[in-house]
Structure 1
Amino acid sequence: MRARLMEATVELLVERGFAGTSTTLVSGRAGVSRGAQLHHFPTKNDLVVAAVEHVTDVRGAELAAAAERGLPRGDRRTRAVLELLADHFTSPVFTAALELWVAARTDESLRAAVVPLEQRVGRQTHRMTVELLGADESRTGVRELVQATLDLVRGLGLADTITDDTDRRRRILDRWAAALDQALAPGSAS
């Protein structure tokens, strides 16, 4: 039941946004009685934060599994890592999280729940990106380059929410991969 509630909440956040998602719609979509839903999640904020956290954890595991399965070695690796990250930041999970971020901007109780979640997810994504790129953060500026990479793909994901940005995203990621390869190469001045 909990999994159905989580999936239904994320689907509705993506389809209708935060304002258009209600606990009544979620329980109906999940095929769960309203009383059962309220027993587990007394407020809409409790429900949406739990749903995004759940799906973010699932997506993080999928991202790690995809990285384990099929990233090339050598000169194509950086571009493949960027593509993996871009796919993550253009997924329905990102869209649902974005709905929460926007709502949390003006809802203090929601912000109190979203900020720690985003900090945890941000640290995990940063750590995984460092590993995937083989980046040496002991070198000056490398940590900032990794964070700039995450900010870039997040921004590209944001742009993709209102228009299909595939071609532009591909060109930008091609250029950024070349710049990262140069900056992260052993012996380069970052």
Structure 2
Amino acid sequence: MGVVTTDDRTPGDDRTQDDRTPGDRTQDDRTPGDGRTQDGRTQDDRTPGGRAPGDRTPGDRTPGGRGSGDRVPKQDRSRATRQRLLAAAVACLAERGWAGSTVSVVAERAGVSRGAAQHHFPTREDLFTAAVEYVAEERSEALRALFPQGATGDRRAVVTALVGLYTGPLFRAALHLWVAASNEEQLRPRVTELEARVGRESHRIAVELLGADESAPGVRETVQGLLDMARGLGLANLLTDDAGRRERVVAQWAGLLDDTLG
């Protein structure tokens, strides 16, 4: 008589899920801000595909297993390593000379292993001739960039820029390489070929920027004399700062070129 069965329960007794009154919320009734998912985010934090912003599925990954923004192409890494080695080789050659510039020293300065250096440049001669040629090409591009319109009426500016090619670390590095080549039979033919190639390119750029007509008598020799003078100023600058005298010589040569080239 005093026992109440499950079916006889009155309001206020223990209620089944279906009898709950408004205000009792099930898991499905939770409003944003109530109970969160296992990763701490509400359903409203998730995208229609069921992922929170920033979540990545296996389909978002590259074949190598890393996110698309994490991977640097192998070719780009190889090119960057090569350029670091070339820059380090020029710096070492300018600072230490040929005797002090070993492949190991260059590799350490470039921050790569000796094996990586030899992968790119099998021999010491390969490394240093490539280094000087690489920087010579970079300097030539920089020279062209100073005069993007080609020939200019300001010949003094052109002479100053050309002389600058022979007064920086590149010329110092190249000089050490030339001295080594005079004593190293294996190195000599390669440096001779390199110097001839760099010389032709320098001459061609000088003719272009000066607006010189080499078909006129004496013009070719005048341009070559300018480059020889620039090399001599570079040699003089190795031991002392020759900037003052160099400026006067540059001004004189600019005047001579105006008289000769018209």
Same fold (TM over 0.5): yes
What corresponds to 1:66 in structure 2?
146
Give 2:160's match in structure 1, choosing from 78, 83, 96: 83
2:113 alignment partner in structure 1: 33
1:15 aligned onto 2:92: no
The CA distance in 1 between the partners of 2:256 and 2:217, in whole Å, is 16
Cα distance in 1 for partners of 2:138, 2:209 equals 19
Post-superposition shift, 1:70? 9.5
In structure 2, the residue matched to 1:188 is none
Matched residues in 2 for 1:66 and 1:19: separation?
A: 35
Answer with 1 or 2: which has the greater Rg. 2
Q: CA deviation at 1:42?
A: 2.3
In structure 2, give the amino acid aligned to 1:36: A
Equivalent residue pairs, number: 182
Structure with the larger RCO, 1 or 2 (CA within 8 Å, 6+ apart): 1
Distance (whole Å) between structure 2 residues aligned to residue 115 and residue 3 of structure 1: 23
Structure 2 residue ranges without an equivalent (≥5): 1-80
List per-residue Cα deviations over 1:49-79 (Å, max 9, x = no partner): 11111111111111111122798x54xx111
Q: What is the alpha-carbon distance in structure 2 between the residues aligned to residue 93 and residue 125 of structure 1?
A: 14
Aligned letter for 1:45? Answer: E
For 1:99 and 1:68, the matched residues in 2 are separated by: 32
Aligned ranges 1:21-170 → 2 under 5 Å: 21-68=101-148, 73-74=152-153, 77-170=154-247
Cα deviation code 1:7-57 (max 9, x no counterpart) = 111111111111111111111111111111122222211111111111111
CA distance in 2, matches of 1:27, 1:99: 19
Shift in Å, 1:102: 1.1
Q: CA deviation at 1:173?
A: 0.9
Which secondary structure state, in structure 2, belongs to the residue aligned with residue 108 of structure 1? coil
TM-score where L is the length of structure 1: 0.91
Cα shift at 1:116: 1.4
Q: In 2, distance between residues paired with 1:98 and 1:174?
A: 26
Unpaired runs of at least 5, structure 1: 186-190
Query: CA offset at residue 170 of structure 1?
Result: 0.4
* Paired AA for residue 9 in structure 1: A
TM-score, normalising length: structure 2: 0.67
Which AA in structure 2 matches 1:38?
Q
Q: Which residue of 1 aligns with 2:86?
A: 6
- AA in 2 matched with 1:78: R
Q: SS at 2:215's partner residue?
A: coil
Shift of 1:83: 0.4
Aligned-residue sequence identity (percent) comes to: 54
